Structure 1
Amino acid sequence: MRAADTLQASLREVVGDANVLTDPDAMAGFLVDWTGAYRGEADAVVRPRTTDEVSAVVRICSGAGARICVQGGNTGLVGGSVPPARRDPERPTILLSTSRMTDIDEVDVIGRCVGAQAGATVAAIDARAAQAGLAFPIDLASRESATAGGVVSTNAGGTRMIRRGNTRSQVLGIEAVLADGRVLRRWTSLIKDNVGYDLPGLLAGSEGTLAVVTRVLFRLVVPPASAVVAVAAVDHVQTAIDLIGAASSQGLTVEAAELMTEAGIALVHEHGQRHPTASRAPFYVLLEVCGPGDIEAATAELLSGTDGLADAVLEPAPARALWGARESHTESIARSSATPVVKLDISVPIRALPEAFADLAGVGDSGDFDCRPVLFGHVGDGNIHVNLLDVPVERAGDVTDTVFGIVSAHGGSISAEHGIGRAKARWTHLGRSDVDLDAMRAIKSALDPQWLLNPGVIFG
């Protein structure tokens, strides 16, 4: 009997026949990422239901030397949620899906926290929090499919990071299965607990390479009593930066700050979204703010006193139509490119944003081939999502080199919030020294000595 067949038989004893998928058609959706740019191969897709089942699955795989790719909602954009493109006949590969692990605990209203299994979606966690008058501080355009385990593994930022911080800031406790099958449980709602290393913080952002996250204890927040959303058409990136600073100076709390370009707004408008302002401009800044008193009047005063603002529209939150212009970007871009979109998630110091935007917008001007840059991102934290459309597949590496060269020149990072995955593994030296990378490999080897978890992710 082949090693893979023996492995599958053992896994079926743990999760049941129906939850070990080997039929190519049944597996197909798990083996391609959201962008369509990354496709992998696996001997089986395994869908455990509990932490105990994950523990047993990992223990069996460890004993067999089988590699494990962990997948949540499969909304990642760097190829980290699918297995390697080629199977090793001597080392079976399984894809461990958390799709059945969707339980969410009752909310601890006093401690303002909630526990959730790794497969629970961001939207579901926020809905449970809302039942208790609280809110989940992580928000993403992919909220309906992005999962607890996924946002922790990538240390996702999202639209609320300017106010709440990244996912690591929201993790109070974690339950995870180590590479040998043992269960690590650091689970407490204590505000202060300073005993030893911050292992939950280490696992946040580790992209499934150190352990399999099975449950997370998340911090919850009190939502603002009222908020407004404004979209302003502006002539310069600096105007958007100044607008954020002015809002804070006037006592407003900035909940979100997003920057878009006319190219992006035109694209989402083509696909059914309304144009947010009557006037056109090179850039559009979306602000969601809250504060005491008449928040609408205060925001209107802020906008009227801003130089370089061509037009603006203001609506009470949640203002889904205004947010739709921003949140439709990713899908509209994917539908508009003749080739898989080269998607690069980068950050630069906020002071460098105007120059970086200009440099990145010129990536398609080389004349060697058609390339349409569409830029948008979280202007309040220096995060730009660079989307390059119609790039010939064989030139994707070249344009990535160009973009990362610009990022490096501005003192930025090649990965702001999406992780490294497989897509950026060859460029990690741009953001980490040899000593830094050696320390990361030492941690990987200590927790996963066989290097079975998410092979090829981060380290290539």
Structure 2
Amino acid sequence: MRPLAPSAARALAAVVGPEHLLTDPAVTAGHAVDWTGRFRGATPAVVRPGSIGEVAAIVAVAREEGLALVPQGGNTGLVGGSVPLAGEVVVSTARLAGVTAVDPDAGLLTAGAGTTIAAVHAAARAAGWAYGVDWAARDSATVGGSIATNGGGLHVVRHGPTRAQVLGVQAVWGSGAPLDDLGRLEKDATGYDLSGLLCGSEGTLGLVTAARLRLVPHLPERALAALAFASMADAVVAVGALRRGLPGLEAAEAYRAAEADLVAGHLGVAPALAPPPPVTVLVEAAGHDDPVDELAAAVAGLDGVVDAVVATDGPRRAALWRHRESLTEAIATLGPHHKLDVSLPAPALAAFAEEVPARVAEVAPAARTWLFGHLGDGNLHVNVSGVDPDDHAVDDAVLALVLDRGGSISAEHGVGTAKRAWLARQRGSDAVAAMAAVKAALDPDGVMNPHVLL
């Protein structure tokens, strides 16, 4: 790692103040490793801007001093996209936090990039609305990070991913020029959607400082069912039927018996369904009126359900959700592991889930494969424990199978550095060349997260 030049240190300290330029390795170390512990780097400095003006000034210093920048929010990414693996300077969005405006009539909310998703939910609820994106890391994941990776989560089946919630973005391009789209209206046909361009860009084009987000109606009544299936194929067919016939469908989350046993042991509680069936699917319905009867009728019409538990009160729903939302935490207790977030077409989903453990075993016989995910939108999280963090054979085996089955190598966490070699194999050389041309135009000196995505 190249140390920060004295001239660069002086310039950055002049921009944000000495107290917001962190260079002590004991302090910066936490910014140089990802949540899984698999991706570890080092940084000469963490800089914490407090305004879009300070971000623009940081980019100017980076261009002048030849620094590479890695934007970092809650650092909950899983593909090495937000850690300084090549000795980059980390730009933390921690001070760019807070909900700054809520329009309760239009259903819009403006928040800084460092605002947690949980804080967005709270502000939306206070205004009589809800936010359509949610996942287990809501207390640490941030608005800026979710835009950078086009995060999805639990409710994509109803509301779509982050891209569908973003109306406008405030940011600084790698050129140092500002973008301020926070005043965009719902209907605006004036040229390119530059805010949309930043969704999924992984910090390679610019640094998001704030966003204007669409809200969705708050549906106070909820019902949750844990459904047991004999196979993933039966579960996929059932969820397809629910998507067609259950208007209030809010989530459809699946995991297998192995995951059920692991998380039950981790939590010290009984499984959601005992004994755990081959596949458990959590199905949640929401509405203005109690959706229990609607959910029960929809479940009664399904083929392949071998057992079911329905939760209508808040504590019981929370207990069932805890099994699903604690899976990543439970797998983490097994040590650093490979997390491969992928998506498959519905017709290929069940066969992939059956085949992928065998593919992993072929290249890593001692490894264990853990599968769970968002069955309603075809997004599975393939987790492999018992493999060295630097061993890419497992990744290659899984991602090759994904492409063979017509899927996507990244469903919601981005490409990062972990999957960079696979981008052209999925998108094609022409598409990657177009992306490179966009980056060259908006980040001419290549200072924005240069080792990620492309």
Under a length normalisation based on structure 1, what TM-score does the superposition of the two structures give? 0.94
Cα deviation for residue 70 of structure 1 reads 0.6
2:380 maps to 1:384: yes
Give RMSD over aligned pairs. 1.7
Q: Which residue of 1 aligns with 2:294?
A: 298
- 1:369: how far off? 3.1
Distance 1:66-1:95 versus aligned 2 partners, 3 A rule = same
Q: CA deviation at 1:300?
A: 2.1
Aligned with 2:327 (options 326, 329, 332): 329
Q: Which residue of 2 aligns with 1:56?
A: 57
Whether the 8 Å contact between 1:252 and 1:291 is mirrored in structure 2 is no
The number of equivalent residue pairs is 449
Secondary structure at 1:105's aligned position in 2?
strand
Name which of 365, 368, 372 aligns with 1:369.
Answer: 365
What does residue 75 of structure 1 align with? 76
CA drift at 1:230: 0.8
Task: Give the aligned partner of residue 318 of structure 2.
Answer: 320
> Which residue identity does 1:235 align to in structure 2?
A
Counterpart residue type for residue 149 of structure 2: T
Match of 1:90 in 2: none
SS at match of 1:458: coil
Deviations 1:292-327 (A, max 9, x none): 765212322333333322211111275111111111
Amino acid at match of 2:282: L
Confirm or deny: 8 A CA contact 2:221 2:290 kept in the other structure. no
1:262 CA displacement: 0.7
Once the two structures are superposed, the pairs formed by residues 82-121 of structure 1 within 5 Å of their partners are 82-85=83-86, 87=87, 93-121=88-116
Shift in Å at residue 51 of structure 1? 1.2
Equivalent in the alignment of 2:175 = 180
Decide whether aligned partners of structure 1 residues 279 and 270 sit closer, same or farther in structure 2, where only a CA change above 3 A counts: closer
Amino acid at match of 2:412: E
Q: CA deviation at 1:245?
A: 3.2
Quick one: distance in 2 between partners of 1:363 and 1:6?
Answer: 51
Is residue 111–residue 189 contact of structure 1 (8 Å, CA) maintained in 2? no
Contact 2:175 2:444 in 1 (8 A): no
Structure 1: gaps spanning 5 or more residues: 88-92
- The answer (yes or no) to whether the contact 2:175–2:445 under 8 Å persists in 1 is no
How far 1:362 moved relative to its partner?
1.8
- The farther-off stretch of 404-413 and 296-305 is 296-305
- d(CA) in 2 for partners of 1:28 and 1:144? 21
For 1:160-171, list aligned pairs within 5 A. Answer: 160-171=155-166
- C-alpha distance in structure 1 between counterparts of 2:243 and 2:204, whole Å: 39
CA contact 1:369–1:391 (8 Å) conserved in 2: no
Q: Which residue of 1 aligns with 2:67?
A: 66
Q: Secondary structure at 1:362's aligned position in 2?
A: helix
The 1-side partners of 2:75 and 2:428 are apart by: 30
- 1:275, distance to aligned residue in structure 2 (A): 1.0
What code does the residue aligned with 2:326 have?
Answer: S
SS in 1 for 2:217: coil
Alignment partner of 2:5: what SS?
helix
Take 2:360 and 2:199, find their aligned partners in 1: how far apart are those partners? Answer: 35
Higher mean alpha-carbon deviation, 117-126 vs 102-111, is at: 102-111
Range with greater deviation from structure 2 (223-232 or 119-128)? 223-232
Instruction: Answer whether contact 1:364 1:370 (CA < 8 A) is retained.
Output: no
Aligned to 2:407: 412
Shift in Å, 1:365: 3.2
How far did residue 367 of structure 1 move? 7.5
1:221 aligns to what?
A: 216
2:99 aligned counterpart, secondary structure = coil
What residue is the counterpart of 2:448 in the other structure? 453
- For 2:227, which of 224, 232, 236 is the aligned residue? 232
- Displacement of 1:249 after TM fit? 4.2
